[in-house]
Amino acid sequence: MQPTFSSSRILLPVRPWFIIFSLFAALLLNFLPTAHWPGVPDWVALVLCFWSIREPRRVGMGWAFILGLAMDVADGAVLGQHCFAYVLLAYVTAAQARRILWFPLAQQALQVLPMLVGCQLIQLLMRMLTGAEFPGWGYLTGPLIATLLWIPVTFLLLLPQYQPVERDENRPL
Amino acid sequence: MAGTDHAPPPFFKRGPAPLALLTFYIAISLALFVVDLRLRSLDLLRQSIALVTDPVQRAAQTPGSLVDHAGGYLRGLHDLLDENARLKQAQLQLAPNLLRLEHLEGENERLRKLLAVTEREKANGAVARIMYTARDPFSRRIIIDKGQQSGIVAGQPAIDEAGVVGQVTRVFPFSAEVTLITDKDQTVPVQVVRSGQRSVVFGLGSGQLELRYIPANADIKEGDLLVTSGLDGVYLPGFPVARVVSIERENSYAFARIRCVPVAAVENFGEVLVLSPRQPQPPAPPESPGRTGNTGAPSKAAAK
């Protein structure tokens, strides 16, 4: 059976300020003192991934780079670590955007999982190769939780774009 | 728009090709990564970005600290009275030592003058509150609430009431980053109190420390206290650093494997004292070729 484009309703155009607001909110969530709890997802990677799939023309590698720099400084990590991972994430998601959007939400989440895991793995590799300590397997559980959050996050971030459902006998759409 | 007939209409303009952009950004990121890691010369860039991210980060910390404050408020009078009584008792117990300290220091100074030995440096410092642990899961660092504005400079040691906590590694306008002694490969030159043997203690990254370059037959026991030796010019001598917990001696290695745990509450939140930088030491005499110094390797930040 051929998949249908069932995952999207007809949406209002996105408001640029809402994209900026959501990315900023993700940054704020990342700054919360939850870094040492296992399983807390990288919110910036998740929201960036979402917008990069939905609006690849508006949110791309430039945003990824700037957010990565902010994360590097805030984390006290090596400069360029998050930049590299986020830019790569933005590129891969933008390249796959058209294909991923074709699937229903649950399958989208499964497609996003390897990208988010890759984002963490790249950072892990970069730091381990340069002699940092291994942070424990809890570090890689973040993307799993992020994948589970894909459906609620999609709903939340698309909320301002939904139109009121009005039934009209003469207009089937 | 004359002369641009052959260019595509702006309708199709999408900027540079994604692959070109990717290459560009990746090149910049990797350059930043290498320069920051190897040359450590990007502090100005880091500080200017921190000017923007720092307020946001402080704002994000407020919910947690509000909960803490509320918890402290609700803890009740009874607990506080108990704690107060305990502290008074502790102070009384320490009083004899403290009262005689000034007298002893004066005497020590006089005797040192008589012996024509240089005077001991006094420990001064600034108390700083630990704001939060750095988010980076690959290292062990904490952020304190004093920075350039309070005259903190990189390299200053930080101690708490029990012993050495770490060393200031980066300074921002209103905060500073302290690398804990348990961070991987963070070094502190130490001396065993009981035998006077000098060595260097390395962080293992697992919350423990390792005393390296001690010969397998050296006089060292479990429970030995290690204090700073002061040879590095960074730490004042005599601050407790760690206690030896296990010693493995194997015949195949020249050195013993000695594990230690820090004396200070290194991984707990609280307050630290950032000691002011030491006075510069006289230059070391030129090394004679036959002798290699096996003690007092300079710590990371001191070498910078």
Q: Summarize pLDDT for A55-66 with one digit per residue, the tens.
A: 888 888 999 999
Residues in chain A within 8 Å Cβ distance of B37: 78, 130
Residue spans of alpha helices (H) in chain B: 18-34, 43-74, 77-114, 300-303
Using a 10 angstrom Cβ sphere, with 0-12 exposed, 13-18 middle and 19 or more buried, the burial of residue B246 is exposed
Separation of alpha carbons B94 and A60, rounded Å: 62
Q: Which tokens in the block code for residue B244? A: 């030896």
Q: Tell me if A135 and B137 make a contact (CB, 8 A cut-off).
A: yes
Residue range A73-81: average pLDDT?
86
Q: Which residue has the higher pLDDT, B194 or A21?
A: A21
Q: Where are the domains of chain A?
A: 16-29+40-162
Residue range B99-107: average pLDDT?
83
Strands B141-144 and B125-133: antiparallel
Q: Look at residue B159 and tell me whether its pLDDT is greater than 90.
A: no
3-state secondary structure of A119: helix
Residue B302: per-residue pLDDT: 43
Residue B292: per-residue pLDDT: 47
- pLDDT tens digits, B4-14: 456 656 666 66
Q: Tell me if A76 and B143 make a contact (CB, 8 A cut-off).
A: yes
Separation of alpha carbons A135 and B38, rounded Å: 22
| Of B299, B190, B292, B303, residue with least CA distance to B240 | B190
CB B137 within 8 A of CB A36: yes
Separation of alpha carbons B228 and B241, rounded Å: 7
Assessment of whether the complete model's pTM goes beyond 0.95? no
How many angstroms away from the CA of B186 is the closest CA of chain A?
11
Residue B26: per-residue pLDDT: 92
3-state secondary structure of B48: helix
User: Which residue in the set A33, A68, A79 is minimally distant from B61, CB to CB?
Assistant: A33
Helix axes A43-54, A105-129, angle to 10 degrees: 130
3-state secondary structure of B171: strand
Q: Count CB atoms within 10 A of the CB of residue B15.
A: 10
Using a 10 angstrom Cβ sphere, with 0-12 exposed, 13-18 middle and 19 or more buried, the burial of residue A149 is middle
Q: Which of residues 104 through 123 in chain B touch A, CB cutoff 8 A?
A: none
Least reliable range by pLDDT among B5-19, B99-113, B199-213:
B5-19
Task: Quote the percentage of chain B above a pLDDT of 70.
Answer: 85
3-state secondary structure of B201: strand
Residue B46: per-residue pLDDT: 86
- pLDDT tens digits, B20-46: 889 999 999 999 988 888 887 788 888
* Rounded (10°) CA dihedral B233, B238, B239, B241: 90
If you measure CA to CA, which chain A residue comes closest to B62? A32
Residues in chain B within 8 Å Cβ distance of A57: 14
| Of B233, B224, B273, B249, residue with least CA distance to B126 | B273
Residue spans of alpha helices (H) in A76-104: 81-100
Secondary structure element (H or E) that encloses residue A138, with its range:
none
3-state secondary structure of B271: strand
Separation of alpha carbons B216 and B247, rounded Å: 9
CA atoms within 13 A on the CB side of B241: 35
Separation of alpha carbons A85 and B32, rounded Å: 13
Q: Which tokens in the block code for residue A29? A: 């969530």
User: Which residue in the set B22, B132, B138 is minimally distant from A127, CB to CB?
Assistant: B138
Separation of alpha carbons B304 and B284, rounded Å: 17
Residue range B182-199: average pLDDT?
87
CATH for the stretch B125-275: 2.40.10.340
Q: What is the end-to-end Cα distance of chain A in Å, rounded?
A: 24
Cα–Cα distances in Å, from A166 out to A33, A160, B45?
44, 16, 53
pLDDT tier for residue A18 given thresholds of 50, 70 and 90: very high
User: Which residue in the set B18, B63, B184 is minimally distant from A91, CB to CB?
Assistant: B18
Residues in chain B within 8 Å Cβ distance of A61: 18, 21-22, 25
- pLDDT tens digits, A114-130: 999 999 999 999 888 88
| Of B194, B240, B241, residue with least CA distance to B219 | B194
Identity of the residue numbered B15: G
Q: Look at residue B81 and tell me whether its pLDDT is greater than 70.
A: yes
3-state secondary structure of B227: strand
Q: Look at residue B108 and tell me whether its pLDDT is greater than 50.
A: yes
Q: Look at residue A92 and tell me whether its pLDDT is greater than 90.
A: yes
CB B167 within 8 A of CB B155: yes
Residue range B127-154: average pLDDT?
84
Separation of alpha carbons B254 and A129, rounded Å: 28
pLDDT tier for residue B304 given thresholds of 50, 70 and 90: very low
Q: Where are the domains of chain B?
A: 18-95, 125-275
Q: Tell me: ipTM over 0.90.
A: no
Residue A46: per-residue pLDDT: 93
